[in-house]
Amino acid sequence: LPRTVLRLAARRGDLQGRITVEASTGADLTGLFDEIRARGPLALTKVGHTTARHAVVKEVLTNDALVTTRPRYGAGILGKLAAWSATEVMHPVQPPSLLVTEPPAHTRYRKLVTRVFTARAVEQLRTRTQAIADELLDGLDPANPVDLIETYCGLLPVTVISEILGVPPQERATVLALGAAAAPSLDLGLSWRVFRTVETTLNSFDAWLTRHLDALRANPGDNLLSRLITAREDGVGLTERELKATAGLVLAAGFETTVNLLGNGIALLTGNPAQLETLRRQPELWNNAVDEVLRFDPPVLLTGRMCVDDTTIAGVPVRRGRLVTTVLAAANRDPSVFDNPLAFDVTRPNARDHVSFGAGRHYCLGAQLARMEGEIGLRTIFDRFPDLQLLSGARRRPTRILRGFERLPARLS
């Protein structure tokens, strides 16, 4: 979403801006979600429309008159400087990233990527993911308090993604450092300092990717990126820029989303011991528990679309040029879809109906991978440390559209 518009909206007390600003303080957003829902299926705000309703979120995300937006640099001198200094290198939310590409390019591009990111490929990563989770937990000393974000939730997803990208072990530390510094690019409202760090890091990451792709072409490995290099649709493969954009987006997703699923899940389960007890008695419910975590406290709070053709959504006319914000986290608590939506319930029969992975053509490519990592990551830590307890000092990340913990201090036993 254009970040300047949202910042201005927040200053004027408008709904869309308030969501992102309140999210960054770690506040409970339930009241705000209710406020949006009470304003109808598609509330008209100063900067566009917003919705908290499940059916309307799906309608927006599957309407062809609405397209994904990429952050624009603001007006004024800072915006001009930002636009001038913006690099042409791989950027997770700039074209040709899948996230901001639209048909027909998106259709061809997504088909090729989906060929490699198959359910089978994800299943093949299951054993390795389990081994990574075990290794990380082996390295923790149960006698000492630990920060679970730093030592576990933040490391599991990126280690799995390093496997996917075929990063050689000796280069992992470099890539992890680059990924961590570039990851804020997925969020909104970056300060000038963070923006500059992100841009510089993306340059270094781009240079590393050029070398890495050459190395994989010369010497392909058993990894998804090697397969993506050779994937063809009607004889045509991904361009170098598309390959880089995919690798960059996948890496950024590893830093910014699955880590939140694990952290939010640990916080919810330690805070609801009865639910954890249910999972101990019925471990077959772990799958469902992961979806309930995704429903109840989703790693991506909202997403937005720009209307490019006058249309009607939920009976409301939407004009070209209007911004439409879909509040995924609020739709997940829509009482017309989820009974008793404010209860965290691992046995909920329709937990999987959440919209935390979006909908329509931009539906999350990594949904199966994230579910698999979430299930292994959460089940393993609670199996190995049944007395796991959070300590004081948990801190939410000051992010605006992503939602998770920055610190999660815990005692393991």
User: Which chain residues interact with ligand HEM by CB under 6 A?
Assistant: 68, 98-99, 110, 249-250, 253-254, 257-258, 261, 298-300, 303, 356-358, 362, 364-366, 369-370
Distance CA 267, CA 297 (A): 10
Tokens of 142: 């149960």
Nearest approach, Cβ of residue 71 and ligand HEM (Å): 12
- The residue among 198 and 355 lying less far from ligand HEM, judged by its C-beta, is 355
Nearest approach, Cβ of residue 110 and ligand HEM (Å): 5
- The residue among 81 and 308 lying less far from ligand HEM, judged by its C-beta, is 308
Give the three-state DSSP class for 322: coil
Nearest approach, Cβ of residue 85 and ligand HEM (Å): 26
Phi, psi values for residue 228, rounded to 5°: -65, -35
Nearest approach, Cβ of residue 301 and ligand HEM (Å): 9
Burial class (CB in 10 A: 0-12, 13-18, 19+), 65: middle
Nearest approach, Cβ of residue 184 and ligand HEM (Å): 16
DSSP string, 290-301: HHHHHHHS-SB-
- The residue among 152 and 357 lying less far from ligand HEM, judged by its C-beta, is 357
- The residue among 304 and 412 lying less far from ligand HEM, judged by its C-beta, is 304
Distance CA 293, CA 358 (A): 15
6 and 69 Cβ atoms separated by less than 8 Å: no
- The residue among 107 and 389 lying less far from ligand HEM, judged by its C-beta, is 107
- The residue among 249 and 376 lying less far from ligand HEM, judged by its C-beta, is 249
CA atoms in the 13 A half-sphere facing the CB of 335: 7
- The residue among 81 and 367 lying less far from ligand HEM, judged by its C-beta, is 367
Nearest approach, Cβ of residue 413 and ligand HEM (Å): 28
Which residue number is nearest to ligand HEM in terms of Cβ?
366
Distance CA 400, CA 20 (A): 5
Q: Identify the CA nearest to 91 among candidates 105, 71, 65, 62.
A: 71
Nearest approach, Cβ of residue 81 and ligand HEM (Å): 27
